[in-house]
Structure 1
Amino acid sequence: MLIATILALALGTYAFRLSGVVLGERLTLPDRATRLLPVAATALLAALAATAALTEAGAFAGFARPAGVLVGAALAWWRAPFAAVVVAAAATTALLRLLGIP
Protein backbone atom coordinates (compact mmCIF):
# COMPACT_ATOMS: atom_id res chain seq x y z
CA MET A 1 0.00 0.00 0.00
CA LEU A 2 2.81 2.40 0.85
CA ILE A 3 4.59 1.74 -2.46
CA ALA A 4 1.34 2.33 -4.37
CA THR A 5 0.84 5.66 -2.60
CA ILE A 6 4.41 6.75 -3.33
CA LEU A 7 4.08 5.77 -6.98
CA ALA A 8 0.74 7.57 -7.31
CA LEU A 9 2.20 10.76 -5.80
CA ALA A 10 5.28 10.50 -8.00
CA LEU A 11 3.14 10.04 -11.11
CA GLY A 12 0.90 12.97 -10.14
CA THR A 13 3.92 15.21 -9.52
CA TYR A 14 5.45 14.25 -12.86
CA ALA A 15 2.14 14.82 -14.69
CA PHE A 16 1.71 18.21 -13.03
CA ARG A 17 5.19 19.33 -14.05
CA LEU A 18 4.84 17.92 -17.55
CA SER A 19 1.57 19.81 -18.03
CA GLY A 20 3.48 23.10 -17.72
CA VAL A 21 5.78 22.11 -20.55
CA VAL A 22 3.00 20.71 -22.74
CA LEU A 23 0.46 23.47 -22.14
CA GLY A 24 2.94 26.34 -21.84
CA GLU A 25 2.56 27.50 -25.41
CA ARG A 26 -1.21 26.95 -25.63
CA LEU A 27 -2.13 28.63 -22.35
CA THR A 28 -2.14 32.41 -22.31
CA LEU A 29 -2.35 34.36 -19.09
CA PRO A 30 -3.38 37.98 -18.72
CA ASP A 31 -0.51 40.47 -18.58
CA ARG A 32 -1.20 41.28 -14.93
CA ALA A 33 -1.00 37.61 -13.95
CA THR A 34 2.24 37.22 -15.87
CA ARG A 35 3.75 40.17 -14.00
CA LEU A 36 2.54 38.92 -10.60
CA LEU A 37 3.77 35.31 -10.89
CA PRO A 38 7.39 36.02 -9.84
CA VAL A 39 6.15 38.11 -6.92
CA ALA A 40 3.76 35.35 -5.88
CA ALA A 41 6.58 32.80 -5.87
CA THR A 42 8.68 35.09 -3.69
CA ALA A 43 5.79 35.70 -1.29
CA LEU A 44 5.10 31.97 -1.05
CA LEU A 45 8.74 31.21 -0.26
CA ALA A 46 8.87 33.99 2.35
CA ALA A 47 5.69 32.70 4.01
CA LEU A 48 7.08 29.18 4.10
CA ALA A 49 10.34 30.38 5.64
CA ALA A 50 8.52 32.49 8.24
CA THR A 51 6.25 29.61 9.20
CA ALA A 52 9.19 27.23 9.56
CA ALA A 53 11.19 29.78 11.56
CA LEU A 54 8.46 30.88 13.94
CA THR A 55 6.30 27.84 14.63
CA GLU A 56 6.72 24.30 15.87
CA ALA A 57 3.75 21.93 16.16
CA GLY A 58 1.33 24.82 15.62
CA ALA A 59 2.73 26.98 18.42
CA PHE A 60 5.41 29.64 18.76
CA ALA A 61 8.85 28.01 18.51
CA GLY A 62 10.51 30.32 21.03
CA PHE A 63 13.07 33.05 20.51
CA ALA A 64 16.18 30.96 19.81
CA ARG A 65 15.13 29.69 16.38
CA PRO A 66 14.06 33.08 14.95
CA ALA A 67 17.29 34.59 16.29
CA GLY A 68 19.29 31.92 14.47
CA VAL A 69 17.33 32.56 11.30
CA LEU A 70 18.02 36.30 11.57
CA VAL A 71 21.75 35.66 11.99
CA GLY A 72 21.69 33.37 8.97
CA ALA A 73 19.71 35.88 6.93
CA ALA A 74 22.12 38.68 7.83
CA LEU A 75 25.12 36.59 6.81
CA ALA A 76 23.41 35.58 3.58
CA TRP A 77 22.65 39.23 2.88
CA TRP A 78 26.36 40.00 3.30
CA ARG A 79 27.11 37.12 0.91
CA ALA A 80 28.90 34.89 3.37
CA PRO A 81 29.62 31.34 2.21
CA PHE A 82 26.66 28.98 2.55
CA ALA A 83 28.44 26.74 5.05
CA ALA A 84 29.20 29.75 7.26
CA VAL A 85 25.56 30.86 7.12
CA VAL A 86 24.29 27.44 8.19
CA VAL A 87 26.89 26.96 10.93
CA ALA A 88 26.37 30.46 12.35
CA ALA A 89 22.58 30.11 12.38
CA ALA A 90 22.76 26.70 14.06
CA ALA A 91 25.38 27.90 16.55
CA THR A 92 23.29 30.94 17.46
CA THR A 93 20.22 28.82 18.07
CA ALA A 94 22.19 26.22 20.05
CA LEU A 95 23.91 28.85 22.19
CA LEU A 96 20.65 30.58 23.04
CA ARG A 97 19.04 27.26 23.94
CA LEU A 98 22.07 26.37 26.05
CA LEU A 99 21.56 29.64 27.92
CA GLY A 100 17.97 28.61 28.64
CA ILE A 101 16.22 30.77 26.05
CA PRO A 102 13.57 28.64 24.37
Structure 2
Amino acid sequence: MTDLELWITVLVASVVCLGFKLAGHYLPEHWLGDPRVARTANLTTAALLAALVVVQTVSDGREVVVDARLPALGVAAVALALRAPFIVVVVLAAGVAAGLRALGG
Protein backbone atom coordinates (compact mmCIF):
# COMPACT_ATOMS: atom_id res chain seq x y z
CA MET A 1 0.00 0.00 0.00
CA THR A 2 1.42 3.34 -1.00
CA ASP A 3 1.41 6.40 1.22
CA LEU A 4 -1.36 7.95 -0.86
CA GLU A 5 -3.57 4.87 -0.52
CA LEU A 6 -2.96 4.83 3.23
CA TRP A 7 -3.96 8.47 3.62
CA ILE A 8 -7.06 8.01 1.47
CA THR A 9 -8.06 5.03 3.63
CA VAL A 10 -7.54 7.02 6.83
CA LEU A 11 -9.55 9.98 5.50
CA VAL A 12 -12.43 7.79 4.26
CA ALA A 13 -12.56 5.94 7.59
CA SER A 14 -12.56 9.28 9.44
CA VAL A 15 -15.44 10.61 7.35
CA VAL A 16 -17.43 7.39 7.89
CA CYS A 17 -16.87 7.58 11.67
CA LEU A 18 -17.94 11.23 11.69
CA GLY A 19 -21.03 10.30 9.70
CA PHE A 20 -21.99 7.62 12.23
CA LYS A 21 -21.48 10.05 15.09
CA LEU A 22 -23.62 12.72 13.42
CA ALA A 23 -26.31 10.16 12.57
CA GLY A 24 -26.49 9.26 16.25
CA HIS A 25 -27.42 12.83 17.10
CA TYR A 26 -30.34 12.79 14.66
CA LEU A 27 -31.96 9.54 15.85
CA PRO A 28 -35.40 10.02 17.36
CA GLU A 29 -35.29 10.06 21.17
CA HIS A 30 -37.87 7.30 21.50
CA TRP A 31 -35.59 4.90 19.59
CA LEU A 32 -32.86 5.37 22.16
CA GLY A 33 -35.30 4.80 25.04
CA ASP A 34 -36.07 1.26 23.89
CA PRO A 35 -34.63 -1.28 26.39
CA ARG A 36 -33.38 -3.50 23.55
CA VAL A 37 -31.32 -0.65 22.12
CA ALA A 38 -29.80 0.14 25.53
CA ARG A 39 -28.98 -3.54 26.14
CA THR A 40 -27.41 -3.89 22.68
CA ALA A 41 -25.32 -0.75 23.22
CA ASN A 42 -24.06 -2.07 26.57
CA LEU A 43 -23.22 -5.49 25.14
CA THR A 44 -21.48 -3.99 22.12
CA THR A 45 -19.30 -1.83 24.36
CA ALA A 46 -18.30 -4.83 26.47
CA ALA A 47 -17.58 -6.95 23.38
CA LEU A 48 -15.38 -4.26 21.83
CA LEU A 49 -13.45 -3.83 25.06
CA ALA A 50 -12.94 -7.60 25.36
CA ALA A 51 -11.73 -7.78 21.76
CA LEU A 52 -9.29 -4.94 22.37
CA VAL A 53 -7.89 -6.64 25.48
CA VAL A 54 -7.42 -9.94 23.63
CA VAL A 55 -5.73 -8.33 20.63
CA GLN A 56 -3.40 -6.28 22.82
CA THR A 57 -2.58 -9.28 25.02
CA VAL A 58 -1.71 -11.98 22.51
CA SER A 59 -0.61 -10.14 19.39
CA ASP A 60 2.55 -8.41 18.37
CA GLY A 61 2.00 -6.82 15.01
CA ARG A 62 0.96 -9.61 12.68
CA GLU A 63 1.51 -12.74 14.76
CA VAL A 64 0.26 -14.33 17.94
CA VAL A 65 2.71 -14.04 20.83
CA VAL A 66 2.41 -15.62 24.26
CA ASP A 67 4.53 -13.71 26.74
CA ALA A 68 4.24 -12.16 30.21
CA ARG A 69 1.05 -10.30 29.27
CA LEU A 70 -1.08 -13.45 29.21
CA PRO A 71 -0.39 -14.57 32.82
CA ALA A 72 -0.77 -10.94 33.93
CA LEU A 73 -4.21 -10.85 32.30
CA GLY A 74 -5.09 -14.09 34.10
CA VAL A 75 -4.08 -12.64 37.45
CA ALA A 76 -6.11 -9.50 36.71
CA ALA A 77 -9.15 -11.62 35.82
CA VAL A 78 -8.89 -13.57 39.08
CA ALA A 79 -8.47 -10.36 41.08
CA LEU A 80 -11.53 -8.87 39.39
CA ALA A 81 -13.51 -12.04 40.06
CA LEU A 82 -12.57 -11.68 43.74
CA ARG A 83 -13.83 -8.07 43.56
CA ALA A 84 -10.46 -6.47 44.28
CA PRO A 85 -10.30 -2.68 43.85
CA PHE A 86 -9.23 -1.59 40.38
CA ILE A 87 -5.90 -0.16 41.53
CA VAL A 88 -5.07 -3.49 43.19
CA VAL A 89 -5.91 -5.31 39.95
CA VAL A 90 -3.62 -3.03 37.96
CA VAL A 91 -0.75 -3.31 40.45
CA LEU A 92 -1.03 -7.11 40.62
CA ALA A 93 -1.09 -7.49 36.85
CA ALA A 94 1.82 -5.09 36.38
CA GLY A 95 3.79 -6.87 39.09
CA VAL A 96 3.24 -10.28 37.50
CA ALA A 97 4.22 -9.00 34.04
CA ALA A 98 7.30 -7.23 35.41
CA GLY A 99 8.34 -10.24 37.47
CA LEU A 100 8.01 -12.64 34.54
CA ARG A 101 9.89 -10.30 32.23
CA ALA A 102 12.66 -9.95 34.83
CA LEU A 103 12.89 -13.74 34.92
CA GLY A 104 13.18 -13.79 31.14
CA GLY A 105 9.58 -14.78 30.35
Give TM-score, length-normalised by structure 1.
0.65
Query: Which structure's relative contact order is higher, taking Cα pairs within 8 Å and 6+ residues apart?
Result: 1
Task: Rate the CA distance shift 1:54–1:19 in 2: closer, same or farther, 3 A.
Answer: same
Please, which of 70, 88, 99 is the counterpart of residue 103 of structure 2?
99
Distance 1:14 1:82 in 2: 33
What percentage of residue pairs aligned between the two structures are identical?
33
Residue segments in structure 1 that go unaligned for 5+ positions in a row: none
Report the AA paired with residue 98 of structure 1: A
Name the Cα RMSD after superposition. 3.2
Aligned residues: 91
CA drift at 1:94? 0.7
Tell me, yes or no, if structure 1 residue 43 matches structure 2 residue 42.
no
Pairing partner for 1:21 from 18, 21, 25? 25
Instruction: Report deviation, 1:72.
Output: 0.8
One-letter code aligned to 1:87: V
Residues 13, 35 of structure 1: alpha-carbon distance in 2 compared, 3 angstrom cutoff = closer
Segment drifting more, 84-93 vs 49-58: 49-58
Partner AA of 1:21 in structure 2? H
2:74 alignment partner in structure 1: 70
Q: Which ranges in structure 2 are unaligned for 5 or more consecutive residues?
A: 1-9
Residue 26 of structure 1 and its aligned partner are, at CA, apart by 7.8
Equivalence for 2:4: none
Q: After TM superposition, give the deviation of residue 69 of structure 1 in Å.
A: 0.8
Structure 2 length-normalised TM = 0.63
